[in-house]
Amino acid sequence: MSSVRRHAPRIIPAAALLILLGLLLSGCETDTPQNTFDAQGEVAKDQRDLFYVAMWPAIVIMIGVLGACVVLALRFREKDPNSLPPKQIHGNTRLEMMWTILPALLMLGMAVPMVAMIYEQGEDPDEDAYYIDVTAQRYSFTFEYPDIVDDQGRQLFVPAEPHIPAGREVVFRLHAADVIHSFWLPKLGGKLDVVPGETNVLVLKADAPGTIHGQCAEYCGLDHANMTMIVHVDSEEDFAAWVEEQSAPPPAPANGDDGEETEDGG
């Protein structure tokens, strides 16, 4: 019961709390490839703002409860080990009703913007939305553009580093070739699982041209860690040019019209 031991606890939690808060806040300003705070599209921005709706009250309550733990433990510390027990308080119904009902109201209040956003983000895509079929297989994503066909009407297949237009909704139709994966481009929006036997649809919209990093977010086996992707966001003009480039017949020397190749298109 030395005085050192009694005073040390005062400083340590307070310091720890400050450090933790500092760490939390510093995260908001880091510009890193998959930073969910650094949103580059409407969906990701809305989701980040909704996170703040929960995070700020949570931080306030956390400081309150942690502070109460420390303050109460020190304030009501036993002074005399030979003292009788203090007054026996068995409860206070009014107080307890209050701390049942108020949190319930707070929670329900938070649920309102949540449900609103679930429905908003679940709406059908815009008329001019651009459709892309994504197939996830161990351990890569491949992208097919139903609108990009060559002069024979065959669909083109884009292996890596796909392009999408900025300022326009893009509809990713997700197909799984083997196990469950999760399609995630953090700066554009939250993830959606790719489930075998189902076609999930994720609608994202990028604000401006740039490069977006993404990664499989559902454990899918040995090389899950390396199932990454890069998506290029182009301006409408650049995207049109890229589509043109893709649609052009390949400059390969053997340019015969092989009918067999149509089989591979799907």
37, 135, 140, 158: which one binds other proteins (CB under 8 A):
37
| CA proximity to 231, closest of 256, 205, 193, 254 | 205
SS3 179: coil
Residue closer to other proteins (CB basis): 34 or 247? 34
Q: Return the residue matching tokens 């086996």.
A: 221
Q: Is residue 171 a contact point for other proteins (CB under 8 A)?
A: no
Q: Is residue 196 a contact point for other proteins (CB under 8 A)?
A: yes
Stretch that binds other proteins, among 147-155, 224-232, 233-241, 251-259 (CB under 8 A): 224-232
Residue closer to other proteins (CB basis): 106 or 241? 106
Kindly state the helix (H) or strand (E) to which residue 65 belongs, with its residue range.
Answer: helix 42-75
> Which two tokens mark 163?
């392009």
Q: Is residue 22 a contact point for other proteins (CB under 8 A)?
A: no
Rounded CA separation 27/51 (Å): 14
Residue closer to other proteins (CB basis): 108 or 254? 108
CA 196 to chain centroid, in Å, comes to 22
Q: Is residue 197 a contact point for other proteins (CB under 8 A)?
A: yes
Stretch that binds other proteins, among 148-156, 163-171, 197-205, 234-242 (CB under 8 A): 197-205
Kindly state the helix (H) or strand (E) to which residue 7 belongs, with its residue range.
Answer: helix 3-27
Residue closer to other proteins (CB basis): 203 or 243? 203
Give the list of residues 6+ apart from residue 47 with CB closer than 8 angstroms, or none.
Answer: 36, 39, 117, 189, 190
Segment 51 to 110, residues that bind other proteins, using CB under 8 A:
51, 53-55, 58-59, 61-62, 65-66, 68-69, 72-73, 76-79, 81-93, 95-96, 99-100, 103-104, 107-108, 110
Give the list of residues 6+ apart from residue 118 with CB closer than 8 angstroms, or none.
Answer: none
CA dihedral 216→220→225→227, nearest 10 degrees, is -50
Residue closer to other proteins (CB basis): 55 or 248? 55
Q: Is residue 225 a contact point for other proteins (CB under 8 A)?
A: yes
In the complex, the smallest distance separating the C-beta of residue 155 from other proteins, rounded to whole angstroms, is 24
DSSP code of 126? P
Q: Return the residue matching tokens 């480039």.
A: 245
150, 193, 207, 238: which one binds other proteins (CB under 8 A):
193
Q: Return the axis-axis angle of helices 93-121 and 42-75, rounded to nearest 10°.
A: 160
Segment 116 to 155, residues that bind other proteins, using CB under 8 A:
117-119, 121-122, 138
Q: How many CB atoms lie within 10 A of CB 147?
A: 11
In the complex, the smallest distance separating the C-beta of residue 187 from other proteins, rounded to whole angstroms, is 8
Q: Is residue 23 a contact point for other proteins (CB under 8 A)?
A: yes
